[in-house]
């Protein structure tokens, strides 16, 4: 978790040494991104998925005690969770959802 100038973020940090499928996704993404000089590739140590952006209060307004309590609460609630699988992909457009109102997909995400 870190505070940028205006908000706090809660992250999930992947383990590329364990998750071979995610590592492949990262490598394939970097191959595409390398073709575009204007893009910078995020180093492995900085890879993350944002779980929650905490809005409504500037990060600078959160005291050290409040930050410590939030971190302790997050550790208590999510620390015991077993590793899990998440699906990464694009969010279906309104057009795609209208063709498939149940949200099921047949075939790869586009």
Q: Using one digit for the tens of pLDDT, what is the confidence trace for 20-31?
A: 888 998 999 999
Q: Considering only CA atoms, which of 70, 101, 100 is closest in space to residue 2?
A: 70
The two counts, helices (H) then strands (E), for the chain are 3, 3
Range of weakest confidence among 9-13, 31-35, 50-54, 94-98: 94-98
pTM of the model: 0.59
Segment 52-92, tens digit of pLDDT: 888 878 888 888 899 899 899 999 998 898 887 777 667 67
Sheet of 8-12, strands arranged across: 2-3, 8-12, 49-54
């Amino acid at each position: 978790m870190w505070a940028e100038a205006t908000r706090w973020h809660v992250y999930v940090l992947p383990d590329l040494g364990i998750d071979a499928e995610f590592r492949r996704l990262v490598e394939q993404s970097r191959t595409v991104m390398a073709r575009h000089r204007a893009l910078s590739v995020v180093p492995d140590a900085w890879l993350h998925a944002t779980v929650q952006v905490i809005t409504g209060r500037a990060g600078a307004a959160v005291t050290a005690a409040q930050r410590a309590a939030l971190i302790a609460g997050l550790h208590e609630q999510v620390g015991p969770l077993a590793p899990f699988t998440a699906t990464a992909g694009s969010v279906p457009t309104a057009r795609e959802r209208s063709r498939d109102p149940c949200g099921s997909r047949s075939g790869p995400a586009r």
